[in-house]
Amino acid sequence: MRDFLPGQVRHRERVRAALEGVYRSYAYEPIETPALEAIERLTTGEGGENEGLIFRVLRRDLRDLSEVHGVDELADLGLRYDLTVPLTRYYATHSAELPTPFRSMQIGYVWRAERPQRGRFRQFMQCDIDLLGEASVAAEVELLTATCDALGATGLTGFTVRVNDRRVLLALVASSGFPETLSRQVLITLDKLDKVGMGGVADLLAPLEHPDAARRLLDVLAEQQVQPDIQALAKALEGGLADEVVRDVDVIVTSLVDQRMPGVEVAFDATLVRGMGYYTGPIFEIEHAESRGSIAGGGRYDDLVAKSGGPAVPACGMSVGFERLCEILPESVADDDRRVVILHDEDAPLALLLDAARRLRANGYAVGRATRRGRVGRQLARLEADGYHLVWEFGPTSPSPCCGLSRLAVEPGTGGLTPLMMT
């Protein structure tokens, strides 16, 4: 859980505004949900390893610990670990008041009791869009297109969209010879492939005591890593794949490729798993070379709303890892070129300073003040580092504050100021 300096906050606000602006252009509506959810809703078994990272909240009615018969009885609430579980509860509660299909946008903090490291935090922001009520893969294509456009609006280029389907993975596990009772455990293990490699996955599968199934599974995945092809995979699987599954993946990949979005690559990836247990169809992630993990991901979760007590409704969602995105974007992307500092002497008339600041603000500028101290060049360099890009030097013969602005441009190695007159 981190503090953010003003420049970092400005950077984050600009990145968020870019994402939100694009999502609004796709008609996604902002919603809000509480930070806390009932603990039984967060621990359904569908949240994968995240359920072991929940910050639990002690019951308010605890008076005598002798009445408690286990750790689970100590807490009845928990901090949300993602935004999807709260959304399904939200939709189950309010579906009668919402349109169909419903396009939801939710941006907010989530919490996981992680071991802090680069790219992993205990409090972090997610930016989710979800489409509920659309059964066709048009939903997946829309979510991915909107997210690619949103990432592009932040200034990010050169990222890759990876696409798979949970039905492909389940067919692959079954065809390899694993019993259905082990399918979830096998998929959880496969999700570690990018961290431990093929050899590491083989070691983790060994305790399941199905060596032939593990070998067949890893052989097929190794071939797919060299030449990914869902058509070839469907032929290699015993029993094959349903035509609908192959068609869905092909439509998603082809639709994104046909749009020719600049700086975006799209590929089928049979090794993509995603850790959540609630996915029922297509899944996807977006990767960038400068990020250790994916910067966005999502998939279809058609059964989750009904499990939350709501109507049976098709649903699909996409989440941007806001923290990772902010880390790889240069802060210059978030520069605000309408921040002005009024530089004045200590005895400058306060009434005139207030009037000048008011007129600048009326013209759309964000205005701060600074008293001249010491070497002006060094002070201007410091103000520029603090996020100011324009200066109006107040004095008896100063021009109007709306036409006397100079851009801060400190020359390297000199600490000087190169004025550029602004009108």
Could you tell me the CA-to-CA distances from 417 to 153, 374, 391 in Å, in that order? 32, 15, 10
Residue-wise DSSP of 91-157: HHHHGGGS-SSEEEEEEEEEE-----BTTB-SEEEEEEEEEES--STHHHHHHHHHHHHHHHHTT--
Q: Which fold has domain 336-422?
A: Rossmann fold (3.40.50)
- The pLDDT of residue 399 is 60
The contacts of residue 271 (CB under 8 Å, 6+ apart) are 164, 190, 193, 194, 221, 224, 225
Low-confidence ranges of the chain (pLDDT < 70): 63-67, 69-71, 119, 332-337, 396-423
Count the helices and strands in the chain (H runs, E runs): 14, 16
Neighbours of 30 (CB within 10 A): 11
Distance CA 128, CA 149 (A): 14
Share of the chain above pLDDT 90, in %: 40
- The pLDDT of residue 308 is 84
- Diameter of the chain by CA atoms? 88
Distance CA 229, CA 267 (A): 9
Which conformational region is residue 136 in: left (phi greater than 0), alpha (psi within -120 to 50 degrees), or beta?
Answer: beta
pTM of the model: 0.82
- The pLDDT of residue 82 is 92
- The pLDDT of residue 418 is 36
DSSP 282: E
- The pLDDT of residue 417 is 35
* Edge-to-edge order in the sheet of strand 390-393: 366-371, 339-344, 390-393, 405-407, 421-422
Distance CA 231, CA 247 (A): 10
Give the type of residue at 17: A
Distance CA 91, CA 96 (A): 9
- The predicted-structure confidence for 37-57, as pLDDT tens digits, reads as follows 999 888 887 777 788 889 998
The contacts of residue 92 (CB under 8 Å, 6+ apart) are 305, 308, 309, 310, 311
- The predicted-structure confidence for 321-379, as pLDDT tens digits, reads as follows 999 999 999 876 445 667 888 989 888 889 988 988 888 888 888 899 999 888 878 88
Could you tell me the CA-to-CA distances from 90 to 31, 152, 162, 338 in Å, in that order? 9, 30, 29, 39
- The predicted-structure confidence for 92-131, as pLDDT tens digits, reads as follows 999 999 999 999 999 999 999 888 777 678 999 999 999 9
Q: Which fold has domain 1-158+289-332?
A: BirA Bifunctional Protein; domain 2 (3.30.930)
CA-atom Rg of the chain in angstroms: 27
- The pLDDT of residue 41 is 87
Residue-wise DSSP of 295-355: SEEEEE-TTHHHHTTS----EEEEEEEHHHHHHHS-GGGG--TTEEEEEE-TT--HHHHHH
Strand partners for 165 = 282
- The pLDDT of residue 165 is 94
Could you tell me the CA-to-CA distances from 92 to 41, 48, 226, 311, 312 in Å, in that order? 13, 22, 43, 7, 9
Pairing of strands 296-300, 315-321: antiparallel
Q: Are 54 and 122 in contact (CB under 8 A)?
A: no
- The pLDDT of residue 237 is 84
| Distance spanning both ends of the chain, measured CA to CA | 43
Residue 316 φ then ψ, to 5°: -150, 145
Q: Residue 223 has which token pair? A: 């071939």
